[in-house]
């Protein structure tokens, strides 16, 4: 059948009329029968589309407790690890290396042989010196054979002259020197430590004074930092120190201040402070970069919160307290602080926190008062708080 222009126009009119009827009926359902107040004719509430997608979802946040106790004020500095003791072992006699019984990083005790030079030439020299001494002793005995009846002073003078003429003094010195040289063919560690920077191999020819290896004592480890002159007055030898090394970012090592250099450098206005850190396992190695917190002052009986809990709104310090799944906004007055904690003080114009309460420490920057929250281990992984 052929569709005419008249039919198209008629069909369009029907569609328009139908749409109008549906709209009128929908309007009647909304406005008629007393439904304008949001209820149906049967008296049941109408659920709005917005309410079906509620935005009141618990936001994942991290928290920390309010604590009561000492507040440790600290001085921060940076430096690097150094061996407690370090020495370069050198050859005291020349010759060919016979054995090297150690490798780098090996642990050795005090007096352990770490290198041996071929001793044959030195053994021969010792035997020759011993033979010369024996001949000199015979000559000395012949020269003083009948001196036993002489006056003691005369006898002592004759013995002195006989030692010179027989060459006994020189022979004894030669034997002592040969004994020392023979002993020096075995290089020993002067203290317990670990071998480092080994520079020779078996069969190599060495000369006196040539560097062979380095010996380091790594327990405890020494850390040297430079502290500004204005902060030195708060430090005392023996005070505790917390040390973090870049190689172990998640580990805090505890040490102590060993010495404080009494001289302030003119150019930097700092003085050297030396710390000792136990290193029984030898994990800390010389040269490792360290960040240090030095205990400068201990203030007792303070209420303190984690530093990350403190925010600023309207140029005032505030924090959020976790209460029954809600974030409660409180303005507070802060006091002393260190890198980890901030003291909260009583003030008539601000609120206070109590030991044991939980304050929000992460994921709380954009919260509002009374926001719905939930405590999580990591707010980044928890996202907005929706079930993971």
- Comparing CA positions, the residue from 64, 74, 72, 70 lying closest to residue 305 is 64
Measured CA to CA, the distance from residue 175 to residue 134 in angstroms comes to 10
Ranges of residues in the chain with a pLDDT under 70 are 1-56, 148, 382-388
43 sits in the region (left: phi over 0; alpha: psi -120 to 50; else beta) called: left
CB atoms within 10 A of CB 15: 9
Measured CA to CA, the distance from residue 43 to residue 259 in angstroms comes to 84
Q: What are phi and psi of 229, to 5 degrees?
A: -60, -35
- Comparing CA positions, the residue from 283, 295, 175, 285 lying closest to residue 242 is 295
pTM of the model: 0.61
240: helix, strand or coil? strand
So what's the pLDDT on residue 284?
Answer: 95
CB 74 within 8 A of CB 295: yes
So what's the pLDDT on residue 156?
Answer: 83
So what's the pLDDT on residue 141?
Answer: 85
CA 252, chain centre distance (Å)? 5
Instruction: Write out pLDDT tens, residues 176-212.
Output: 999 999 999 999 999 999 999 999 999 999 999 999 9
Give the CA dihedral 72, 77, 78, 79, nearest 10 degrees. Answer: -100
Measured CA to CA, the distance from residue 15 to residue 123 in angstroms comes to 123
Q: List the alpha helices (DSSP H) in the chain.
A: 5-31, 49-52, 120-143, 152-166, 168-184, 229-232, 379-382
Within the chain, what is the greatest distance between any pair of CA atoms?
167
Burial of 54 (0-12, 13-18, 19+ CB in 10 A): exposed
CB 252 within 8 A of CB 243: yes
Helix (H) or strand (E) holding 76: strand 67-82
């Amino acid at each position: 059948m052929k569709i005419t222009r008249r039919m198209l126009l008629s069909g369009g009119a029907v569609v328009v009329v139908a749409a109008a009827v549906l709209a009128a009926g929908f309007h009647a359902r909304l406005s008629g029968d007393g439904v304008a107040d949001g209820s149906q004719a049967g008296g049941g509430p109408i659920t709005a589309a917005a309410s079906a997608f509620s935005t009141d979802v618990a936001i994942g946040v991290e928290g920390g407790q309010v604590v009561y106790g000492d507040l440790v004020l600290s001085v921060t500095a940076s430096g690097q690890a150094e061996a407690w003791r370090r020495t370069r072992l050198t050859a005291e006699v020349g010759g060919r290396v016979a054995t090297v019984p150690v490798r780098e990083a090996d642990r050795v005790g005090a007096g352990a042989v770490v290198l041996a030079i071929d001793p044959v030439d030195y053994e021969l020299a010792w035997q020759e010196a011993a033979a010369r001494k024996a001949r000199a002793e015979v000559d000395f005995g012949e020269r003083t054979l009948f001196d036993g009846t002489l006056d003691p002073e005369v006898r002592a003078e004759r013995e002195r002259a006989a030692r010179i003429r027989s060459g006994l003094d020189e022979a004894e010195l030669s034997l002592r020197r040969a004994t020392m040289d023979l002993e020096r063919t075995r290089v020993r560690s002067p203290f317990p430590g670990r071998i480092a920077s080994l520079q020779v191999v078996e069969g190599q020819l060495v000369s006196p004074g040539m560097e062979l290896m380095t010996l380091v004592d790594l327990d405890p480890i020494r850390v040297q930092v430079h502290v500004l002159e204005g902060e030195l007055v708060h430090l005392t030898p023996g005070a505790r120190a917390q040390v973090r090394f870049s190689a172990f970012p998640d580990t805090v090592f505890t040490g102590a201040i060993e010495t404080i250099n009494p001289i302030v450098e003119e150019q930097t206005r700092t003085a050297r402070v030396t710390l000792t850190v136990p290193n029984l396992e030898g994990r800390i190695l010389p040269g490792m970069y360290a960040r240090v917190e030095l205990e400068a002052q201990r203030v007792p009986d303070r209420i303190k919160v984690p530093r990350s809990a403190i925010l600023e709104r309207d140029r005032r310090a505030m924090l959020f307290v976790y209460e029954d799944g809600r974030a409660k906004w409180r303005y507070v007055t802060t006091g002393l602080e260190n890198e980890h904690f901030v003291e909260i003080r009583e003030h008539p114009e601000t609120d206070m926190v109590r030991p044991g309460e939980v304050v929000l420490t992460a994921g709380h920057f954009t919260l509002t008062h009374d926001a719905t929250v939930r405590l999580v281990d990591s707010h980044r992984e928890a996202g907005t708080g929706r079930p993971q």
